[in-house]
Amino acid sequence: MAEYNQELDATGLNCPLPILKAKKTLASMSSGEVLYVTATDPGSVKDFESFSQQTGHELLEQKEEDGKYHFRLKCAG
C-alpha cells in the first residue's frame, strides 16, 4: 500500500502554483490523509516549509531526487 492517499504532479509549474494546487487538493482531503507532491521548482522547498507552518498541515517528508522535489503532507483537516 502507498504511503499517501492522493498524489499531485506539480512538475513544470513555478511558484506559487505548486502551493496553490496543494492547498486546493488538501481542502478536499480528510484529516490525517497524506498528499504526495512532486515539483520541479527549487523555490517549492521553502514554500512548502512555510505553507506547513502557516496552515498546520504537517510536512512529513521532503527530498530532492534527480532535479525533482518530493513532499508528503499530512492533512490537518
Give the position of cell 498524489. 7
38 within 8 A of 70, measured Cβ to Cβ: yes
Q: Which of 15, 17, 45, 59 is catalytic?
A: 15
CA gap 6, 54 in Å, rounded: 21
15 is annotated as an active-site residue: yes
The length of the chain is 77
Q: Which residues are catalytic?
A: 15
